[in-house]
């Protein structure tokens, strides 16, 4: 190996201090007049009963003895801390809408008991410890169940005659109730001239969903059905590739020094892959989803070529292609595929190949932006699969067509239509946007600017998306039409073996998927979470980092994610840049203090900004779609402590909060130092959880880099000489059965 390339250093258990933690919570007393507040609550309960009785004919739960309604807590209170309040009053929390409101269910008998208790509270203040902390009871019926997209459609001056919708049932009702309610809803659809599309299907949390085409005039029949939680228009996903003119290229061959059989594997979930000679050997297997007609392989082949070869432009000049990954071709896109069908096909593909490959590339998006207040159905299903199967999805951010009508990149970014589209709201997937790789006359975006077509964040619940960016082609608009110029970053391979320029986040997501595969190849036991953390940790910002404030950094992250992937830095340390890594699990009863050695040779340096420390902690927390914007069940907070000669550890203050947000899957920050002391520094890791009745262990991967900014000191050798840390290539992580 090149002497400038050093293996990262593994942090052993001996360098980690375990600290017990006792979770605490406090309740703030409320100053309310119980007689007035009780009257408000009684009115709300009476309205719930009245509305349910008025809509009995549409209520698929009418025979089930259940009332479904909404409970709102006061400002500052959170549903997650009020489980006792709900349980003692006979209410089951079925769905959390946001941190202080929930959709609940109770029996008719228990509902009457609740009314009686509220009346006693109104008269005498009985139950103050509970009812003071309920702001209101409200019906959960009507148009508030509709997605914003559906509301816009039905409120048009001339709404369409029919709607292709997905009816999501209220979660957590139980199989017997679901069986009865689903049958009743199916009957109602048929009786009201609707058409069932495919059989009802179940999400990973066992919530039923029915896709149907209904007359738009009958929508209220489903809005007023207590069994239905949410109604949204069906999203369709396709893989479309432009038919561009091939460029002339000389013959090429595969690098004979590359052992193809040792290359990492990426699954391509697309329209099919056809590689011609001499690259056909890179495709390990072809698989077509059951009940699929099979795609045309146009789009899928282009995507696969980016995974296998990174950027083709410069390689073609040499006549030698350097493959970096093998491909499993999963042909799942055969035209406009509805969301329910696509989910099933993805699940089948992951079940088939999760033991063979850890990385799945999906370059297909809905045509409209996310709303952001609810996790998309497909976004949740990708997260559920990643947790269940320990795989990693790499997903495109999506494309828009605003560049056809707007004249500046600023106007495009100001338009809400440029926001990311499903499944790019998936919290556990790596979502990839596009950055212009070369400046071309006629393009409204120059090099190192977000591509004119690339969707931007924020993602679900305001979190930063995309996660990463990669260079891609741009679009040039002229009176004669639009073209994708030929450059090193726009070329892709076609199923005919030609090379054409093409652009879209479809072709930058596979760049990152291939990069991730390269990084995965150096991790112990093919640890996909560690590979992801290394990729995030070493991403190169393409914005000016000096004196940036939180607002500017949030904007940068919503355009570019953490930056451009840097494969070599992700795979290797260097003499002046030392990376420590560790994986483990945390729960709400344990904290870890991870020791990192700051060498004397670096501490002795004088001047301004002589050293930089960067910390990244990526976790795999549980997710729950029924918890609204409280979707993530945990997050891990990372903080840095520096040593002092008197033995104390001093906190390291950060200039910005961005990158260290609560309830995100990645905590990341860096700090420049001018003066500091050698010795053991520490990274403190602490997990915060919600919703967990049990003590769940959450996997994490930690990456810490110490860097000599002068790039002249051999920091690596001084740390290596301690014999406290082992080179990553010598580590084998024990896998528990």
CA quadruple 508, 509, 511, 515: dihedral, nearest 10? 150
Confidence class for position 233, pLDDT limits 50, 70, 90: very high
For the chain, percent of residues with pLDDT exceeding 90: 86
Backbone angles phi, psi at 373, to 5 degrees: -85, -20
Is residue 327 pLDDT above 70, yes or no? yes
Cβ atoms of residues 273 and 340 within 8 Å: no
Predicted local distance difference test score (pLDDT) of residue 693:
64
For the chain, percent of residues with pLDDT exceeding 70: 98
Cβ atoms of residues 379 and 631 within 8 Å: no
Q: Omega of the bond prior to 458 within 30 degrees of 0, cis?
A: yes
Higher pLDDT: 690 or 161? It is: 161
Please, how many CA atoms are within 13 Å of residue 513, restricted to the half-sphere of its CB? 37
How far from 478 is each of 443, 482, 490, 504, 735, CA to CA, in Å? 9, 6, 19, 19, 57
Confidence class for position 390, pLDDT limits 50, 70, 90: very high
3-state secondary structure of 265: strand
Is residue 735 pLDDT above 80, yes or no? no
Closest CA to 300 of 494, 508, 490: 494
- What is the DSSP track for 578-629? EEEEEEEEE-TTEEEEEEEEE-HHHHT--SSS-EEEEEEEEE---B-GGGGG
Predicted local distance difference test score (pLDDT) of residue 731:
81
Per residue in 261-308, pLDDT (tens digit) is 999 999 999 999 999 989 999 999 999 999 999 999 999 999 999 999
* Cα dihedral sign, 116-121-126-131: positive
Say how far apart CA 42 and CA 19 lie, in whole Å: 48
DSSP annotation of 632: B
Say how far apart CA 60 and CA 188 lie, in whole Å: 9
Q: What pTM does this model have?
A: 0.95
Closest CA to 510 of 397, 426, 422: 397
Write a three-state SS string for 402-442. Answer: HHHCCCCHHHHHHCHHHECCCCCCCCCCEEEEEEECCCCCC
Reported as type and span, the H/E element at residue 85 is helix 83-88
Per residue in 438-449, pLDDT (tens digit) is 999 999 999 999
Predicted local distance difference test score (pLDDT) of residue 313:
87
Say how far apart CA 527 and CA 735 lie, in whole Å: 10
What are the residues facing 9 on neighbouring strands?
A: 580, 727
Matching residue, tokens 């119980």: 34
Higher pLDDT: 240 or 468? It is: 468
Confidence class for position 24, pLDDT limits 50, 70, 90: low
Mean pLDDT lowest among 456-460, 521-525, 654-658, 702-706 = 654-658
Predicted local distance difference test score (pLDDT) of residue 448:
97
3-state secondary structure of 526: helix
Say how far apart CA 155 and CA 158 lie, in whole Å: 8
How far from 367 is each of 290, 481, 509, 528, CA to CA, in Å? 25, 22, 17, 30
Is residue 737 pLDDT above 50, yes or no? no
């Amino acid at each position: 190996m090149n002497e400038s390339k050093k293996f990262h250093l593994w942090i052993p258990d001996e360098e980690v201090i375990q600290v017990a933690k006792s979770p605490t919570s406090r309740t703030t007393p409320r100053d309310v007049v119980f007689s007035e507040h009780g009257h408000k609550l009684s009115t709300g309960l009476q309205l719930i009963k009245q509305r349910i009785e008025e809509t009995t004919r549409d209520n698929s739960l009418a025979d089930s003895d259940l009332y479904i309604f909404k409970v709102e807590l006061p400002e500052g209170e959170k549903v997650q801390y009020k489980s006792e309040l709900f349980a003692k009053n006979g209410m089951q929390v079925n769905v959390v809408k946001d941190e202080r409101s929930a959709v609940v269910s109770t029996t008719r008998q228990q509902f009457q008991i609740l009314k009686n208790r509220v009346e006693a509270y109104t008269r005498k203040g009985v139950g103050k410890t509970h009812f003071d902390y309920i702001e209101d009871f409200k019906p959960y019926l009507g148009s508030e169940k509709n997605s914003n997209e559906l509301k816009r459609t039905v409120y048009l001056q001339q709404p369409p005659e029919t709607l292709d919708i997905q009816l999501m049932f209220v979660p957590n009702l139980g199989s017997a109730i679901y069986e009865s309610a689903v049958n009743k809803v199916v009957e109602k659809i048929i009786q009201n001239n609707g058409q069932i599309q495919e059989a009802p299907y179940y999400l990973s949390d066992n919530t039923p969903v029915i896709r149907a085409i209904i007359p738009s005039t009958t929508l209220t029949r489903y809005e007023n059905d207590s069994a239905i939680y949410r109604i949204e228009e069906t999203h369709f996903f396709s893989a479309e590739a432009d038919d561009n003119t091939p460029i002339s290229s000389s013959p090429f061959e595969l690098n004979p020094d590359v052992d193809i059989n040792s290359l990492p594997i990426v699954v391509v979930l697309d329209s099919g892959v056809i590689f011609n000679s001499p690259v056909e050997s890179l495709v390990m297997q072809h698989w077509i989803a059951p009940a699929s007609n099979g795609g045309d392989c146009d789009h899928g082949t282009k995507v696969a070529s980016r995974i296998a070869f990174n950027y083709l432009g410069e390689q073609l000049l040499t006549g030698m292609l350097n493959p970096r990954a093998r491909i499993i071709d999963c042909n799942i896109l055969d035209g406009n595929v509805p969301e329910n069908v696509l989910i099933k096909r993805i699940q089948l593909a992951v079940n088939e190949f999760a033991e063979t490959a850890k990385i799945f590339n999906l370059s297909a998006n809905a045509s409209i932006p996310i709303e952001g207040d609810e996790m998309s159905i497909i976004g949740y299903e990708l997260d559920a699969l990643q947790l269940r199967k320990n795989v990693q999805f790499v997903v495109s951010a999506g494309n828009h067509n605003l560049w056809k009508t707007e004249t500046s990149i600023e106007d495009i970014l100001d338009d809400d239509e440029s926001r990311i589209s499903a499944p790019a709201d998936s919290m556990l997937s790596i979502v990839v946007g596009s950055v212009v790789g070369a400046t071309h006359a006629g393009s409204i975006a120059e090099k190192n600017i977000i591509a004119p077509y690339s969707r931007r964040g924020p993602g679900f619940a305001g979190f930063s998306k995309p996660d990463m960016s990669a260079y891609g082609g741009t679009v040039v608009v002229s009176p004669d039409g639009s073209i994708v110029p030929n450059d090193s970053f726009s070329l892709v391979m076609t199923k005919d073996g030609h090379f054409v320029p093409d652009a879209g986040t479809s072709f930058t997501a596979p760049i990152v998927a291939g990069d991730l595969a390269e990084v995965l190849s150096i991790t112990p036991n093919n640890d996909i979470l560690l590979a992801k953390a290394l990729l995030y940790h070493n991403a190169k910002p393409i914005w000016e980092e000096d004196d940036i404030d939180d607002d500017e950094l949030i904007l940068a992250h919503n355009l570019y994610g953490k930056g451009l992937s840097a494969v070599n830095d992700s795979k290797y340390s260097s003499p002046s840049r030392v990376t420590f890594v560790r994986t483990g699990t945390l729960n709400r009863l344990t904290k870890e203090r991870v020791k990192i050695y700051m060498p004397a040779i670096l501490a002795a340096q004088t001047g301004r900004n002589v050293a930089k420390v960067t910390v990244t902690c990526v976790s795999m927390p549980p997710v729950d779609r029924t918890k609204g914007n409280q979707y993530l069940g945990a997050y891990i907070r990372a903080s840095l402590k520096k040593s002092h000669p008197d033995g104390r550890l001093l906190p390291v203050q950060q200039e910005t909060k961005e990158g260290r947000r609560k309830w995100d899957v990645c905590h990341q920050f860096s700090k420049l130092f001018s003066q500091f002391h050698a010795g053991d520094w520490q990274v403190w890791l602490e997990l915060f959880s919600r919703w967990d009745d049990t003590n769940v262990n959450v996997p994490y991967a930690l990456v810490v880099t110490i860097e000599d900014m002068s790039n002249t000191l051999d920091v690596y050798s001084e740390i290596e000489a301690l014999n406290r840390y082992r080179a990553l290539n010598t580590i084998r992580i024990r896998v528990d059965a």
